[in-house]
Amino acid sequence: MGFVLGRLGQTVLVLLVAAFVSFSLFRYVGDPVNNMVGQTASLADREAMRAALGLDDPFVIQFFRFVGHALQGDFGISYRYGQPVSALIAERFPATLELALISMLIATGLGVPLGVWTALHRGHWLSQLLLAASLIGVALPTFLIGIALILTFSVWLGWLPSFGRGQVVSFGWWSTGLLSWSGIRALVLPSVTLGVFQLALIMRLARAEMLEVMRADFIRFARARGLRPRAIEYRHALRNTLVPVVTMIGLQFGNVFAFSIIVETVFQWPGLGLLVIQAIQFADVPLLAAYLVLIALCFALINLAVDLLYVAIDPRVKAAGLVGRAA
Amino acid sequence: MSALLKVESLRVEIAARTRILTAIDEVSFEISEGEILGVVGESGAGKSVTGTAVLGLLEKPAYQAGGRILFGGQRIDTLGEDALRTLRGKEIAAVFQDPLTSLDPLMTIGDQLVETIQTHLPLKAGEALERAGQLLAEVGIPAPRERLRSYPHELSGGMRQRVVLALAFCCEPRLIIADEPTTALDVSIQAQILDLLRRMCRERGTAVMLVTHDMGVIAEATDRVAVMYAGRIVEIGPTATLLVGASHPYTRGLMASIPDMRRREVELTQIPGSMPRPDAPVSGCAFHPRCSIAEARCSVERPDDVVIGPSRVACWFAGDTSRSVAR
Ligand SMILES: Nc1ncnc2c1ncn2[C@@H]1O[C@H](COP(=O)(O)OP(=O)(O)OP(=O)(O)O)[C@@H](O)[C@H]1O
Ligand SMILES: [Mg+2]
């Protein structure tokens, strides 16, 4: 429990730092008054606006006001869309989360078994082939993979759509493409594109870890105990392999979420990435600030989840956490 | 007594990058039912490789290149992996050097005991757990029932090695290969673990191949000793005989390095020079560069084994009393 509380404290700290960065962005990039009243407003109007916005208050008070608003999901009004930033983000968030989740699911679901298999069958030709393929997967730029997939499956074969989200079903503010055939078809190419690099990475790491574990003393001792190969490979080796692999998968999930921008651009996927690209082009500072905080929140939550998962798989962490608190 | 384990002219080679090295050459020895055979020799002499070969656990790049290994009169070095596996842990158990790394860190001690027991014996989960608890009690672990639920990291090194002993004894093996079972432990605990091993073996009539660097252990705990040098057994015979009247100059050097039975951990390298490595073999008798009684033929012809009373020695001058005095 102490372990969990400590981690929560760290999470809050990280979020405060992110809020500070995004607040600074908000406060010092461009002049918010200019943005709101326009270039032609009189000096008196500007002063009145400044006072109304609280821009004359001390820095610290302004910062805490920002945090207070952020906690209520209030990040102000988008310069470009003239709508509340939170509403814009809420609208786009499900698309990106779905894309990231599905691509990580593909990458993990294939990457871990393939990595383990290639480690256990090192000499096999298929293992060599997969290893070479994974190198390509790591090296190829994502947009190139996306374009190649579009060319093959949309343009030549005409099997799958090359852009958009297809038909979505809404539940309140949440919209999902997973419940309609066209939505699922639309998800295939972007999520594969986003997942290829992760798949290759996870496979290589799982393979390397598995090989490492198979050389460990306790595996040799398990052999000397006469355990069945299946028990040695899966009950002992695989579980020990998963500890570092789970961490990496968690961290990569944050990356996938944050860097879906490229894939969303290639596939015109109506998610956060696309929104942010446009926000950057128009210097839509409130939107950018909110996006920053959101990404930080995602990373923090993922880290927290990974840590908790660690406690669940590895009994040593639990002990270390308790000792760390006692010390 | 009949021979429980019989190793005949064992030869182990290692496929190095450019050539094939000989790690073990013409090694022959027997272990009778219930007998403790000590194996000594400098680091790299081939003690572990010999033990590993008996367990059938040689791994690339090492492989058995010749000779036979018989257990209970049956040839085991030609058995398939599956048949060998059912022997391992049941008939022939192992204890390795480092208790800290011999156990799976992610699995409770009870689970590791139960899985070993259930692999070899037709017991139900409850019965296996019962047996696991009894074993922990027998190896002197306090509160054995509670300890079944502990993870390896929650135990001290000495306790962990007791667990390893429980694992080795859990299916009542007839032979235990103990490769430096106490080297990694605190000096104060070494004697306890060794006494425990010896007591349990004597009670059950379990034979042991006890690899050690500790001449004090040899003197106290073993019935016979095999002295290894550069991949060969240079002398093997009853401990009492070797202690007082060894025939090989190398053995005499070793025995001379036990100044006092109570002082353990004596350096084995009191003889000037160093042992030839597998990648730089020496012609003739491998010991001749360091031998005080070597003559011309020693550097050319490899000595054959000579039987002297209960011992067997590989030296041209074995039995030549004038020489042993002259040294
Ligand atoms: N997998 C391997 N690859 C290359 N060389 C090996 C391998 N295993 C053993 N050897 C070599 O075989 C020789 C015998 O090694 P072994 O481990 O049996 O020595 P040892 O007598 O047990 O030494 P120690 O007292 O240090 O444990 C050494 O020279 C070692 O370098
Ligand atoms: Mg060794």
Q: Write out pLDDT tens, residues B128-181.
A: 999 999 999 999 999 999 999 999 999 998 999 999 999 999 999 999 999 999
More confident residue, B260 or A253: A253
Contacts of A236 in chain B (CB under 8 A): 104, 106-107
Task: Tell me the β-bridge partners of A176.
Answer: A169
Closest CA to A146 of A192, A184, A113, A179: A192
pLDDT one-digit tens code per residue, A58-76: 778 878 888 888 888 787 7
Closest CA to B183 of B141, B212, B146, B148: B212
Q: Would you say B26 and B12 are in contact if contact means Cβ atoms under 8 Å apart?
A: no
If 0-12 CB within 10 Å is exposed, 13-18 middle and 19+ buried, where does residue B60 land? exposed
Please say if the pLDDT value at position A36 is more than 70.
Answer: no
**Average pLDDT over every residue of A248-256:** 87
Q: Ligand 1 in contact with B44 (CB < 6 A)?
A: yes
pLDDT one-digit tens code per residue, B249-307: 888 888 776 655 444 454 444 677 888 888 888 888 888 888 888 888 888 888 888 88
Q: Ligand 1 in contact with B48 (CB < 6 A)?
A: yes
Q: Boundaries of CATH 1.10.3720.10 in chain A? A: 90-282
For tokens 């594109």, the residue is: A193
Q: Which CATH architecture has domain B3-222?
A: 3-Layer(aba) Sandwich (3.40)
Task: Tell me the β-bridge partners of B75.
Answer: B70
Token pair belonging to A50: 């400044």
Q: Would you say B148 and B141 are in contact if contact means Cβ atoms under 8 Å apart?
A: no
Ligand that comes closest to the CA of residue B233: 1
Cα–Cα distance measured from residue B314 to residue B210, given in angstroms and rounded to the nearest whole number: 21
If 0-12 CB within 10 Å is exposed, 13-18 middle and 19+ buried, where does residue A158 land? exposed
Cα–Cα distance measured from residue A167 to residue A165, given in angstroms and rounded to the nearest whole number: 6
Phi, psi torsion values for B233, nearest 5 degrees: -90, 115
Q: Ligand 1 in contact with B278 (CB < 6 A)?
A: yes
Closest CA to B130 of B110, B104, B150: B110
pLDDT one-digit tens code per residue, A272-296: 888 888 888 877 788 888 888 888 8
Write out the E strands in chain A.
169-171, 174-176
What is the atom index within ligand 1 of the atom nearest the CA of B46? 18
Fold of domain A90-282 = MetI-like fold (1.10.3720)
pLDDT one-digit tens code per residue, A136-147: 888 888 888 888
Contacts of B85 in chain A (CB under 8 A): 226-229
Domain residue spans in chain B? 3-222
